[in-house]
Each structure stands twice: as C-alpha cells, then as structure tokens.
C-alpha cells in the first residue's frame, strides 16, 4: 500500500484579540506557541508516527502554554477554580474518548485518550475522571500552576458584572485543537478547553462532545471546532461537516463553510480546523480572527491569526 502524504492543522481559539489591541510582542508569543504545537505534531508525522499521536502532542503543547484557554491557561469558573474539558477521536476505528469538568489534571487531552484506550466508555466527568487519572498516575498540578493574573482579572470583571463570558469575547483566546492525516491514511482530531469565564453549574460545551467539537472518520475528514460551544452542540458541527462530505459529496471547504453558516444563522461564532482524507486543509472562521497553523508534507509551516490570505 502506497504511503499517503501527511498533513496537520492546529488552532488556539477563534475570536482573536482585535488588531488594534494586539502588540507586536504579544503577537510573536502567540505565533511562537502555535508554531511549537504545529511542529510537535508534524515531527511525529514526518517520522512515520500516527495522526492520533500527532494531534495529542500538538494539543498537549497548547495545554502547557499559559496563553491559551486549555490546561494551564484555562479560565476561571464562577467559584474561582478551573474545570476543563477535552476529547479525542481516531478516524480508522471511530474510537473516541472525552473528559468533562476535570480539575488539577495537567493535560486533559491525555486523560481523554486514556478513556478511549483503557476503558469501555467514551466520556468520564469531574471527580470520577480525576479518580481514573490518579489510578493511571497522571500528572496533577496545584492551583498555582493554572493561575494567570490576566485570567484572574477577567474573572473578577465577569463576577462583578454577573456575566458569563465567552473566552475570546473579552480579549482572550479560546479552545485549542488539532486535526491530522498520517502517512497510513488515518485521520484523527483532538480538542481541549477551559470553557467560559465565570461559567456556572458545571457547564460543559462542545469540546468534550464527540460529533460537536471533535470528529474524525477515515471516509471523510478530521475536525476540531472552536467558538461558542452551545451553537456547535446544537448543529453537531464536527459530525455535520463529515456527513455533508460523505452523503452529499461536498468538498471539505464547502462542507465546513455550510456548517459555519448554520452556526452563524443561529447567532453563534467560531471556526474549525479540518483535514480531509486526501490531505486538504481548511481553517475557516466567522470571527475577527482565529489562532491557527497548518503544514503539509514537504511544505513550510503556516501560522495565522487574522484573515490574511
């Protein structure tokens, strides 16, 4: 069987800091973080590794970067703590794993993968998921690891205003994720987030929900979504892109645009990174910007924040 060309795309959230508020130094930091994540996944693919390993590695890199709202950089909930969601899926077997509302876990995406590979379940939540992580001796971090003065100040403003803020709506980044195709023709996708600033009642968005925020199917594509999660749940966005390709014969571009149009029609905003089974990459969004990067085999890495061509 001939080896396929590989490809990977990553995102650090839709709804980028407005150009007028973005400093050169901060932009360089965001670009560096995206490039590091992209390179971590690309290195695995170029060495003949799997798309599953590649998307996990890319997302872990973003989870460990305090700039992005996932893992270490997660926003504060109403109680002033952190509740994180993540999911991962492989396109060859349609196996998937997810966690929701976990605290203290350094890398929720690694825990989501463990759910997929070491249990008969798809999703675990809060204390149960944390207990499972401890059984696996996964890394836990103290609250100070997740503390950012920038996030803390945003939380204080949200509490004072009695608002629940979509992360990127107040000069913040959002969900992180990755989608990839490996040399064996297998697709995979992964997504991780800290959710909404000042969120209450154990709210869970699309990032933990297979088919909404994350989906991969070797027949079509791999997708990771970012934005206002409720709208991506209601449109089952990631799966809908795959369905439009499989059952209507739409291209990756057309299917992704159609689903984002559905999201926008309901009043939502956001974007996706997607890779199809032939290595095409598409990273559309309907917000001011989206932190994103992509790379195909034999081509240079590309990193973007705004709507540059």
Instruction: Report yes or no: 14 and 290 within 8 Å, Cβ to Cβ.
Output: yes
- Burial tier of 244 (Cβ tally within 10 Å: 0-12, 13-18, 19+): buried
- Other Cβ atoms closer than 10 A to 147: 13
CA–CA separation, 25 and 43 (whole Å): 27
Report, as residue numbers or ranges, the catalytic residues. Answer: 175
What is residue 301's DSSP assignment? Answer: -
Instruction: Report yes or no: 88 and 222 within 8 Å, Cβ to Cβ.
Output: no
Residue 135's closest CA among 120, 114, 152?
A: 114
Instruction: Report yes or no: 293 and 33 within 8 Å, Cβ to Cβ.
Output: no
Tokens coding 126: 């809060």
Distance of CA 31 to the CA centre of its chain: 16
- At 10, give phi and psi (nearest 5°): -130, 160
Q: What is the largest CA-CA distance in the chain?
A: 60
């Amino acid at each position: 069987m001939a080896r396929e060309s590989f490809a990977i795309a990553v995102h650090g959230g839709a709804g980028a800091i407005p150009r007028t508020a973005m400093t050169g130094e901060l932009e360089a930091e965001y670009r560096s973080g995206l490039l590091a994540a992209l390179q971590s996944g690309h290195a695995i693919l170029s060495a003949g590794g799997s798309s599953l390993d590649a998307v996990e590695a890319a997302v872990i890199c973003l989870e460990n970067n305090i700039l992005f709202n996932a893992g270490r950089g997660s926003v504060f909930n109403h109680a002033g703590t952190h509740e994180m969601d993540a999911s991962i899926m492989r396109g060859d077997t349609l196996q998937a794993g997810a966690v929701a509302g976990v605290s203290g876990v350094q890398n929720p995406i690694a825990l989501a993968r463990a759910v997929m590979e070491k249990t008969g379940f798809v999703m675990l939540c809060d204390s149960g998921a944390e207990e499972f992580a401890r059984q696996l001796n996964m890394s836990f971090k103290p609250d100070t690891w997740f503390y950012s003065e920038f996030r803390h100040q945003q939380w204080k403003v949200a509490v004072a205003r009695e608002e629940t803020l979509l992360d990127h709506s107040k000069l913040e980044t959002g969900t992180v994720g990755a989608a990839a195709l490996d040399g064996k023709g297998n697709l995979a996708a992964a997504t991780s987030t800290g959710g909404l600033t000042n969120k209450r009642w154990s709210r869970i968005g699309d990032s933990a929900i297979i088919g909404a925020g994350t989906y991969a199917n070797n027949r079509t594509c791999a997708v990771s979504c970012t934005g206002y999660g409720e709208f991506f749940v209601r449109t089952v966005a990631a799966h809908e892109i795959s369905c439009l390709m499989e059952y209507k014969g739409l291209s990756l571009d057309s299917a992704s645009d159609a689903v984002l149009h559905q999201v926008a029609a309901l009043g939502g905003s956001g974007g996706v990174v997607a890779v199809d089974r032939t290595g095409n990459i598409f990273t559309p969004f309907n917000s001011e910007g989206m932190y994103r990067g992509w790379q195909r085999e034999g081509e240079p890495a590309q990193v973007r924040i705004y709507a540059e061509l």
